[in-house]
Amino acid sequence: MSETKVYPVDTEFASQSWVDNDTYLSMYEKSITDPEGFWGEHGRRIEWMKPYTRVKNTSFDPHNVDIRWYEDGTLNASVSCLDRHLESRGDQVAIIWEGDDPSEDENITYRDLYERVCKFANALKAQGAKKGDVITLYMPMIPEAAVAMLACARIGAVHSIVFGGFSPDALAARVEGGQSNIVITADQSLRGGKAVPLKDNVDLALKNAGTECCKKVVVVKRTGGDIAWDDSRDVWYEEIVADASTECAPEEMGAEDPLFILYTSGSTGQPKGLKHTTGGYMVYASMTHQYAFDYKDGDIYWCTADVGWVTGHSYIVYGPLANGATSLMFEGVPSYPDNSRFGRVIEKHKVNQFYTAPTAIRALMQQGEDVLGDSDLSTLKVLGSVGEPINPEAWEWYHRIIGQGRCPIVDTWWQTETGGMMIMPLPGATAAKPGSATRPFFGVQPALVDNEGNILEGATDGNLVITDSWPGQGRSIWGDHDRFVQTYFSTFKGYYTTGDGARRDEDGYYWITGRVDDVINVSGHRMGTAEVESALVAHPKVAEAAVVGYPHDIKGQGIYVYVTLQAGIEESDELLKELRTWVRSEIGPIATPDLVQFAPGLPKTRSGKIMRRILRKVAEDDFGSLGDTSTLADPTVVDDLINNRQNRK
C-alpha cells in the first residue's frame, strides 16, 4: 500500500480557530468522561423556553432502547433559528438564494425570513394544520422550502421532506407512512434549465395510492407552468400568505417532541421514516456546523445538498440558522449553464465554507483542471465532503484545485440516523489524511466489532458501531419502534450499528470502507438493493431480479442489475430500455440501473438464498476470488453469468 500523505494543520489557521488540537483533546475527554456536564453546558447554545434540568437519559439495551436528551426542557426550533437573531442581526442575510438560472438570486435577511415563516405558519394554521400533524414537503430548492420547514416547526407540526427527484409512487408511500394531511409543493421545479412536474407528481401520488389522509395541497408558484387544479384540495401559497400576520407565537415543544421525519433506505423492505426530535438535534446540528467548518460571524457558507436529504436539513437550514449564519441555497446543478457554475457561485457570493459530495468533485475532475474557469476562489477558507467515501485522488484534486492548496478539507462521516456529523476532522485541530474521516466529534464513541460483536482494539478492520448515545441521534422509526430496535440495536447488542465497515489506523483515524449490508451508495444517495429489486419484479416480464453495486468512476457506486425474464420472453435492447424507464418511474431517476445483464439463472444456495457475494464479484469483473461456490444449488449458473457479462448494457 502506498504511504498515506498527511496534511498537518496550518498553525496560523489553528491559532484563530474555535478548536485547536489541545482543545479538541480536552473537550473530547470531558465529553466522554462527563457527558452530563459536557452536554449540559453545550445544550445552552440554543434557546430554551423552559430550561432543562436533566441532560442524558439513554439506553441502547435491545430490550429497552430509549433515547432522551434534555427531556424536561421545552423549546421551539424556529426560535433558535429566527427570533433570537432579530435584535442582533435582523438585517443580516440569513439565506442567499441562487437560482437555477444565474441571473436569478435573492438575499433574505433574518427579519424577512422571520416574517415569511410567521406568515406561512399562520396560513398553515388557517388551513387546519396543528401541533403533531405530519406535513409532507415535496419542494424545489427555493427559499419557500426553508420557510415551510421552519413554519412547520413554529406550529409544532412534523415535517417529512420527500426529495423532489422521487417518483409519484415513492411520494405516495411516504405521504401514507406519515398519514400526512397536508402536502406542500410547487408547480414545477427547475434544474439545469429543465422543468420537473412536481405538482403533477403530487396529483398522481394522491390519486394512485388512494391516499385518503391528505386533504390539502399548498402550491408555490415557481415556474408558472401548466398544472391541473382541484378547487376542493389545492391552494396557492402566495394567496394564503398574502394577508397572514407577520407574527405567530411559537408553539412550546418538549425537547423530545418530533421535529421531523426523514425516510431513508435500508437493506430490507420499504424505506424507513427516521424520527428526529427537537432539543438534542438542534444542539448537535448547530454545534457540529460551527466546529466542523470553523464558522465565524459574517462568513458565507454554502452546502450544495438538497433539503430533501438529511444534509440539507442539518447543514442548510437548522445548524447554520441556529448559528446566525448566512447560508447559501442553490437551486441548480453544477453543470448548468456550464461546468464552471460552482466556481462562479463561490465568486459571486464570496463563499467562505463550501460543503459538497465526492461525486460532484469527481464529475468536475473529469472536466480538467481549468473546469472552474477564471473564477475567484480566494474567499474560501474550509472545504467539506459528505455522503460517501472520498477517494484520495478526488481529495487531492479538491484540495489543490478548489482549495488552492490552502483550505483544510473536512471529510464528514455521518448518516440520516445520526442527525449530524459523527467522525470528521476539525480544521484547526486535526491533521488530515486524504480518504480518512479521521476522529470522532465530541461525545461520539466509535468502536469496531467483529461479526460476533466483540470489540476489536488497535489498528484493525471491523464493523463500525457507536457505543453510547449522542444528542442528534434519531430516536425511532416513525410508527415502528420495533423495527428501529431490530435494525440498529440487535445485531451487535448494546451498540448502535451503523451498517458501515471501517478501518482504524495506528493513529486511531477511521477510514470508512462502505456499507456492509445490502445498501449501495450511488452519487451519495443511499439506495436499498431490495427496493430496486422489488420495482423490477413488479414488471410483468421479469421473473426475478438481483441488484448489486459496482465501482463507478463518478458515482462511486453504480447500480448493476441481473434480470431473469419470465419463460418465453425474449431478451432485447428494447426490453432493456423499458426496464430502465420502469425503475425510473417506480422509484425516481436516482435509481436508474447503470448496467443490466439478462441472467437465465441466479446463483442460489440450496435453501434458495441468492448469493450476492458472487454477483458482486461478477459485476466487478473480479472472478479470481469467487470463493466457495460448492454450496450453490447449481454451480454452472456462475459460468453462465461470467460468459454472459459481455452482453450487459
Which residues are at the interface with ligand PRX (CB under 6 A)? 264, 310-311, 385-389, 411-416, 437, 498-500, 512, 514-515, 521, 526
- Backbone φ, ψ for residue 211 (5° rounding): -70, 110
Q: How far is CA 604 from CA 548, 601, 607, 646, in A?
A: 15, 9, 8, 22
The minimum distance between CB 499 and ligand PRX, in angstroms, equals 6
Q: Which amino acid is at 304?
A: T
Residue with Cβ nearer ligand PRX (343 or 549): 549
Binding annotation for CoA: 191-194, 311, 523, 584
CA distance 473 to 20: 26
Q: How far is CA 265 from CA 62, 98, 455, in A?
A: 22, 30, 27
The minimum distance between CB 62 and ligand PRX, in angstroms, equals 21
- The answer to whether 141 and 105 have CB atoms below 8 angstroms apart is no
Q: Which residues contact 621 (CB under 8 A, 6 or more apart)?
A: 645
Residue with Cβ nearer ligand PRX (310 or 561): 310
Residue with Cβ nearer ligand PRX (179 or 513): 513
SS percent in the chain: helix, strand, coil, step 5? 35, 25, 45
Residue with Cβ nearer ligand PRX (341 or 515): 515
Q: Which three cell numbers stand for residue 468?
A: 453510547
Binding annotation: 191-194, 311, 387-389, 411-416, 500, 515, 523, 526, 537, 539, 542, 584
Residue with Cβ nearer ligand PRX (125 or 526): 526
Residue with Cβ nearer ligand PRX (151 or 316): 316
E-assigned strand segments in 198-269: 216-220, 234-236, 253-254, 258-264
CA distance 522 to 558: 6
The minimum distance between CB 294 and ligand PRX, in angstroms, equals 18
The minimum distance between CB 402 and ligand PRX, in angstroms, equals 17
Parallel, antiparallel or unpaired: strands 194-196 and 189-191? antiparallel
457 CB neighbour count, 10 Å cutoff:
9
Q: Which three cell numbers stand for residue 279?
A: 432539543
Residue with Cβ nearer ligand PRX (188 or 359): 359
Q: Which residues contact 493 (CB under 8 A, 6 or more apart)?
A: 62, 453
The minimum distance between CB 165 and ligand PRX, in angstroms, equals 14
E-assigned strand segments in 139-271: 158-161, 182-186, 189-191, 194-196, 216-220, 234-236, 253-254, 258-264
Parallel, antiparallel or unpaired: strands 216-220 and 182-186? parallel
Binding annotation for Mg(2+): 537, 539, 542
The minimum distance between CB 266 and ligand PRX, in angstroms, equals 10
Residue with Cβ nearer ligand PRX (277 or 412): 412
Binding annotation for ATP: 387-389, 411-416, 500, 515, 526
Minimal CA–CA distance to 547: which of 515, 521, 570, 520?
Answer: 520
The minimum distance between CB 79 and ligand PRX, in angstroms, equals 26
274 CB neighbour count, 10 Å cutoff:
23
CA distance 174 to 212: 13
**CA 339 from centroid of its chain's CA atoms:** 24
- DSSP letter at 569 equals P
The minimum distance between CB 358 and ligand PRX, in angstroms, equals 8
- DSSP letter at 646 equals G
Residue with Cβ nearer ligand PRX (403 or 603): 403
The minimum distance between CB 67 and ligand PRX, in angstroms, equals 18
- The answer to whether 39 and 68 have CB atoms below 8 angstroms apart is no
The minimum distance between CB 355 and ligand PRX, in angstroms, equals 11
Residue with Cβ nearer ligand PRX (312 or 332): 312
- Residue sitting closest to ligand PRX (CB): 416
The minimum distance between CB 252 and ligand PRX, in angstroms, equals 30
Q: Which residues contact 428 (CB under 8 A, 6 or more apart)?
A: 9, 13, 14, 15, 16, 17, 18, 19, 20, 21, 294, 408
Residue with Cβ nearer ligand PRX (89 or 174): 174
Q: Which amino acid is at 180?
A: S
